[in-house]
Amino acid sequence: MLIIYIILKNRKIYMIVYKKGSLIMSNSEKEDISGRDEFKRVLKPILEHFRKEHKLSQHELINLIIEPEEPLIPLSIFSTSLAPLQSVIKYLKEELNLKNGKISILLKRDQRVVWKSYSEANKKQPKRFEIKEERYFIPVSILGNKGLSVLESLVLYLKESLNLSIKDVSSRINKNTSTIYTAYNRAKKKQKTR
């Protein structure tokens, strides 16, 4: 078992790494961490070593570290030929082993819609997703907005919370730029009318 203690104090980072009870790394020299990039530079090699040693995907490592209270959806699942709702349901069911009832609660959709969407997704794409190394993860809660479609919610989140351009969103989820533009404008209009 690998245990990593990371202590931030006065913008300095102290790291102690234990493996099976033995100290394997300690930085007695206090590293000055002056910003996010420095913090990332120091932590990245340790986390990468841990990920490879335990054969974890990037997504599994993130879930171990932050223990999210809600599932995180890798953005790459939206680049398939499936409809966005089908992609989310298939991912939650097959990769996270969630039941239809739990999925319907998370997405605020009827269980019959979840069942039908999953059934149609399996007909279109019987194989499981190939989860690639991913930079962006979507909290499932943003997809449960009843007033917006899954695509509208997704585009709105990517554009406004992650500051991606319409063109960047389009290329990342493999959809036409005009489709993304239309989804974004519809989402904005629906938000104004509430």
Q: Residue written as tokens 């790494």?
A: 17
Residue length, the chain?
194
Q: pTM here? A: 0.66
Could you give the CA distance from residue 72 to residue 140 in angstroms, rounded to a whole number?
Answer: 6
Q: Which two tokens stand for residue 153?
A: 């919610």
Q: Which two tokens stand for residue 151?
A: 């695509």
Instruction: Measure Cα distances from 36 to 40, 43, 160 in Å.
Output: 6, 11, 21
Return the closest-CA partner of residue 145 out of 181, 109, 100, 192: 109
pLDDT tens across 162-177, in order?
889 999 999 999 999 9
Residue 165 carries which DSSP code?
-
The letter for the amino acid at 75 is L
Return the closest-CA partner of residue 31 out of 50, 5, 7, 65: 7
Pairing mode of beta strands 72-74, 137-139: antiparallel
* Element holding 73 (H helix, E strand): strand 72-74
Residue 16 carries which DSSP code?
E
Helix H segments across the chain? 36-53, 58-66, 84-94, 100-107, 111-124, 150-160, 166-172, 177-193
**pLDDT tens track, the chain, 194 positions:** 445 555 454 445 455 455 554 444 444 444 454 556 666 676 777 777 777 877 777 766 666 665 556 788 889 999 999 999 999 999 999 988 899 999 999 999 999 999 999 999 999 999 998 877 778 888 898 898 878 999 999 999 999 888 899 999 999 999 999 999 999 999 999 988 87
Q: Residue written as tokens 């009827």?
A: 110
Q: Which two tokens stand for residue 86?
A: 């089908």
